[in-house]
Protein backbone atom coordinates (compact mmCIF):
# COMPACT_ATOMS: atom_id res chain seq x y z
CA UNK A 1 0.00 0.00 0.00
CA UNK A 2 1.28 3.44 -0.88
CA UNK A 3 1.91 5.90 1.88
CA UNK A 4 1.63 9.64 1.47
CA UNK A 5 5.01 11.31 1.23
CA UNK A 6 7.10 8.15 0.89
CA UNK A 7 9.10 8.55 -2.32
CA UNK A 8 10.36 4.95 -2.23
CA UNK A 9 6.92 3.55 -3.03
CA UNK A 10 7.05 4.56 -6.68
CA UNK A 11 10.71 3.80 -7.42
CA UNK A 12 10.17 1.18 -10.18
CA UNK A 13 7.83 3.43 -12.18
CA UNK A 14 10.07 6.47 -11.75
CA UNK A 15 12.98 4.39 -13.05
CA UNK A 16 11.00 3.15 -16.07
CA UNK A 17 9.77 6.60 -17.10
CA UNK A 18 13.23 8.07 -16.54
CA UNK A 19 14.71 5.53 -18.96
CA UNK A 20 11.84 6.08 -21.40
CA UNK A 21 12.35 9.85 -21.54
CA UNK A 22 16.12 9.42 -22.00
CA UNK A 23 15.99 6.69 -24.65
CA UNK A 24 12.92 7.43 -26.79
CA UNK A 25 12.58 10.41 -29.11
CA UNK A 26 8.84 10.73 -28.58
CA UNK A 27 8.72 14.40 -29.55
CA UNK A 28 9.07 13.59 -33.26
CA UNK A 29 5.69 11.82 -33.37
CA UNK A 30 3.18 13.44 -35.69
CA UNK A 31 0.13 11.39 -34.70
CA UNK A 32 -1.21 9.64 -31.63
CA UNK A 33 -1.02 6.30 -33.47
CA UNK A 34 2.69 6.81 -34.16
CA UNK A 35 3.31 7.64 -30.50
CA UNK A 36 1.29 4.61 -29.41
CA UNK A 37 3.39 2.33 -31.65
CA UNK A 38 6.66 3.76 -30.33
CA UNK A 39 5.53 3.27 -26.73
CA UNK A 40 4.39 -0.31 -27.38
CA UNK A 41 7.71 -1.17 -29.06
CA UNK A 42 9.70 0.36 -26.21
CA UNK A 43 7.73 -1.49 -23.53
CA UNK A 44 8.15 -4.79 -25.41
CA UNK A 45 11.90 -4.22 -25.71
CA UNK A 46 12.19 -3.08 -22.09
CA UNK A 47 10.34 -6.11 -20.71
CA UNK A 48 11.88 -8.83 -22.87
CA UNK A 49 15.43 -7.90 -23.86
CA UNK A 50 16.78 -5.72 -21.07
CA UNK A 51 18.39 -6.86 -17.87
CA UNK A 52 15.93 -6.28 -15.04
CA UNK A 53 17.08 -5.55 -11.52
CA UNK A 54 14.98 -7.24 -8.88
CA UNK A 55 13.49 -5.06 -6.17
Would you place residue 55 in the very low, low, confident or very high pLDDT band (cuts 50, 70, 90)? low
Across 20-42, b (16+ Cβ under 10 Å) vs e yields: eeeebeeeeeeeeeeeeebeeeb
Instruction: Let me know: does 2 contact 12? Beta carbons within 8 Å.
Output: no
Q: What pLDDT, on the 0 to 100 scale, is given for residue 16?
A: 87
pLDDT digits (tens, 9 = 90+) for 43-53: 999 889 887 77
pLDDT digits (tens, 9 = 90+) for 2-42: 566 666 678 888 888 998 999 999 889 999 999 999 999 99
Amino acid sequence: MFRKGNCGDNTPMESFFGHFKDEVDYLVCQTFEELHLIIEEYIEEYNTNRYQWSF
